[in-house]
Amino acid sequence: MADESGASKAFEDALAIVNDQTSLRSRLGLSFEARRLGRDDAIVDLLKGRVATDRESEALHTLIAAAINSRRWVTAREILAVSSQSLQERDWFKRADAILAINTGDAKADEKIARYLKQCPNDVEMMLARIGIWQRAGRDGDIRSLLQGINLAELDGRPEQLIRIAALIVHYGAAASGLHYGYKVLMDNWNIPQAHLSYQGLIFLNENIGAAMSSTNMVGENTVVCLLVEGSERRYRIEKDKHAFFEDERLDPKTSLPRS
């Protein structure tokens, strides 16, 4: 805490001596420190009006991200509007434009998300944003078509976002495949608390999940078995999938269980 307080004071001291003669290099250096401290507002003040918008640069990326993160919507819109046509075709630009549209209630938000997803179809965060828009518009058929067409193995997003996709797949009718995918994501990201919270939501807040749950009490593939082995409890996962965190518990379906 003391180090963080000291860093904040040092940053404020440096910020106080910035003037019109301060070079862009120095301003960008301060911006990196501001980003570490979560001071997006300061980044905008440091870089606004001093970054070229006709070519891609780290400074331009930093300024646009800070303007959006600090909710400086007008500033963000102005920067995007004056950026060169070549930049407007880049995927990162289209993503920023879509995020700004989502946050400002732009009527063209869905159109802008679609424009971005055409180039980057596996971006889960933007896919979820689009599904949210469609849900509010009652476009259930379009959501089903989208979910049926995605390649789950190629999705790019945080584990909790991937499990939200799984929950949507369950909700919109493909309970077994949604549950299987959500379980796989959880097993591959067992150390991430947000993944557990999302998976709990998939299980407890989805009325369609019962249809996908196994009701068998027989030991077989895709079950977990607890045995008392040599005086201690031992757990075995009988699965074809290989999840690194549970490798020491994994038992191939063709292998016999140890005798208790």
> What is the tens place of the pLDDT at every residue in 63-102?
999 999 999 999 999 999 999 999 999 999 999 999 999 9
Start-to-end C-alpha separation, the chain: 52
pLDDT for 195 beyond 80: yes
Same domain, residue pair 164 and 147: no
68 and 10 in a single domain? The answer is yes
CB-based contact 11:30 (threshold 8 Å):
yes
Residues sharing a CB contact under 8 Å with residue 96, sequence separation 6 or more, in sequence order: 64, 65, 68, 76, 80
In a shared domain, residues 134 and 180: no
Please check whether residues 14 and 73 belong to one and the same domain.
Answer: yes
Q: Write the CB contacts of 225 (distance below 8 Å, at least 6 apart in sequence).
A: 219, 235, 236, 238, 257
Band the pLDDT of 43: cuts 50, 70, 90. Answer: very high
pLDDT digits (tens, 9 = 90+) for 196-240: 999 999 998 888 787 777 666 777 777 788 888 777 888 888 877
In the predicted model, is pLDDT for residue 1 greater than 50? no
Instruction: Give yes or no: residues 61 and 127 share one domain.
Output: no
Structural domains in the chain (count): 4
Residue 191, both tokens: 């150390």
Residue in this structure with the two tokens 């407007």, named with its chain if needed = 88
Distance of CA 250 to the CA centre of its chain: 29
Domain with 36, as residue range(s), is 1-82
Per-residue tokens: 218: 């027989």
pTM of the model: 0.83
Q: Distance between CA atoms of 22 and 139, rounded to whole angstroms?
A: 52
The vertex-191 CA angle with 203 and 151, nearest 5°, equals: 60
